[in-house]
Structure 1
């Protein structure tokens, strides 16, 4: 059976966590997917662990970078090796609920939409959930509302890629990729670029992804380079929205 969903898992020095992440994918109730793991030249036991899973499961493929290139390059490598009709992303130190895959495939099957989202648990390493889980809500929205929700710094949509599934042909036909010059907010830029070429979006806040906030992660650190990345990302987002609005006016 052709894989309906390609899961792209990025990893860098996550030997203590990646087994839990992969095991949560193995436990999926819907088996219509494959897993592409991209290791960004880890220096710990990460490569050894993921190679052992690749030997055991024929639906897991592993690609190892020869030099550390950053998460954007890793995601681009994953996209280049994905063959599913749909794609989603998982970070190698997070994990997902058993119906994560089923949620995306069921909605894509039932609804005529170009993006599907789910909610998430934002939790600490000891399992404490930091975000409030709201009453279950769903909505189908257009491009303007989608962009508005993606660039918001709160809510259950935001700029992440791991709580969203995409149609791969839209990514390919529009030559979309992650900005390799950004270490922060590269996912928001990608999502806005995707949203401006997509039509309809299914937003669902059912929490199926476990995002683990770890000490020492790049999003936890404050540095001048991070300030630069945020500024550059916001400019790219603004430029994408402006060009999309201009193109829409030209078509009227």
Structure 2
């Protein structure tokens, strides 16, 4: 694509950041290096207690790209930071990148070319896992049979059964799509918020364009948010609880807005049973037998757990857990109690 032959619409790049002083430079430099000519950079500093804001400002002040740094007065979490960035964006398109990750220089230009070619609401790419402990990179390309176009149903299917599906940070969004659907992140969610937003996006986007190329680099390091938010038992329980809530909200949303009977069935017979399994497991982890018994005795719970049988050959562990809960609840509870 010759980027010099026409005027390209503005792409807003939103970077949620919390205590990433030592890593944000890599992320911002990979944004500045994008070969797409018309971007704005929005860093949302989520009340960091280190020098994140100053580190970001030092890099951006002379980068030649328009930028904004927004600082929350108190820490509100990554989901809130992404919503803040969405509210501040001026572009016609939106891309999220985490403050400790990186991207190939052609990520935006490649996804923009696809979204324009097919007039889609979103386009997405594969990812690369990078490990700071010296392990080799792992490539996770998008594996969909079509060449570069798919429907939301196919992508949701990939996500459901553990195959390769796009992360939120590997997607380019049309702003009008987000406005028309009202899609936002569930604020305060410390776990599962990305997956919830992703499933809702795929459900509503219809036809989507993609490249199998691994253009987004997800960096695994000792200070990453998922590690930080799980370094005590209390935080682990909070994250598990939030993740369970995200499972329920995503399943309910998919059931309500399902673009096909296949997706609705996935919502009711796969995603919803998973949510109930997590809820019952949480009861065991927190030693709440009374709530465990009350939830398990409810007819809607038992119906959902039983329905997971139809996907046994796609993901047997879900139905096996459901079967254990239905027929051997004491054993299940005692093995998972905190």
Higher strand share: 1
Pick from 177, 181, 204 the counterpart of residue 184 of structure 2.
Answer: 177
Query: Are the equivalent residues in 2 in contact too, given 1:112–1:200 (CA < 8 A)?
Result: no
Following superposition, the deviation at residue 42 of structure 1 comes to 0.9
Find out whether 1:100 has 2:100 as its counterpart: no
* Residues 100 and 247 of structure 1: CA distance in aligned 2, closer, same or farther (over 3 Å): closer
Find out whether 1:206 has 2:213 as its counterpart: yes
* Residues 201 and 124 of structure 1: CA distance in aligned 2, closer, same or farther (over 3 Å): same
Q: Distance in 2 between matches of 1:135 and 1:174?
A: 25
Larger gyration radius, structure 1 or structure 2:
2
Q: Paired residue for 2:35? A: 29
Pick from 149, 153, 170 the counterpart of residue 158 of structure 2.
Answer: 149
Pick from 75, 87, 90 the counterpart of residue 94 of structure 2.
Answer: 87
Alpha-carbon RMSD: 2.4
Following superposition, the deviation at residue 216 of structure 1 comes to 4.2
Q: Could you state the TM-score of these two structures normalised by the residue count of structure 2?
A: 0.67
* Residues 92 and 176 of structure 1: CA distance in aligned 2, closer, same or farther (over 3 Å): same
Query: Are the equivalent residues in 2 in contact too, given 1:6–1:33 (CA < 8 A)?
Result: yes
Q: Distance in 1 between matches of 2:142 and 2:121?
A: 24
Q: Distance in 2 between matches of 1:32 and 1:4?
A: 5
* Residues 246 and 25 of structure 1: CA distance in aligned 2, closer, same or farther (over 3 Å): closer
Query: Are the equivalent residues in 1 in contact too, given 2:139–2:214 (CA < 8 A)?
Result: no
Query: Are the equivalent residues in 2 in contact too, given 1:53–1:60 (CA < 8 A)?
Result: no
Query: Are the equivalent residues in 2 in contact too, given 1:41–1:66 (CA < 8 A)?
Result: yes
Following superposition, the deviation at residue 3 of structure 1 comes to 4.2
Q: Could you state the TM-score of these two structures normalised by the residue count of structure 1?
A: 0.88
Q: Distance in 2 between matches of 1:171 and 1:132?
A: 29
Find out whether 1:44 has 2:50 as its counterpart: yes
Deviation larger for 197-206 or 76-85: 197-206
Q: How does 1:1-252 map to 2 (within 5 A)?
A: 3-56=9-62, 57-126=64-133, 128-133=135-140, 138-155=147-164, 157-158=165-166, 160-220=167-227, 221=230, 223-245=236-258
Q: Distance in 1 between matches of 2:65 and 2:259?
A: 46
Query: Are the equivalent residues in 2 in contact too, given 1:140–1:201 (CA < 8 A)?
Result: yes
Query: Are the equivalent residues in 1 in contact too, given 2:191–2:240 (CA < 8 A)?
Result: no
Q: Could you give the per-residue CA deviations for residues 176-207 of structure 1, whole angstroms, max 9, x where no partner exists?
A: 11001311111111122222222211132201
Q: Which runs of 5 or more structure 1 residues have no equivalent in the other structure? A: none
Q: Which runs of 5 or more structure 2 residues have no equivalent in the other structure? A: 1-6, 262-338
Secondary structure at the aligned position of 1:92 is classed as coil
Q: Distance in 2 between matches of 1:87 and 1:146?
A: 20
Q: How many residues align?
A: 247
Q: Distance in 1 between matches of 2:112 and 2:163?
A: 26
Query: Are the equivalent residues in 1 in contact too, given 2:95–2:173 (CA < 8 A)?
Result: yes
Higher helix share: 2
Q: Give the structure, 1 or 2, with the largest relative contact order (CA under 8 Å, sep 6 or more).
A: 1
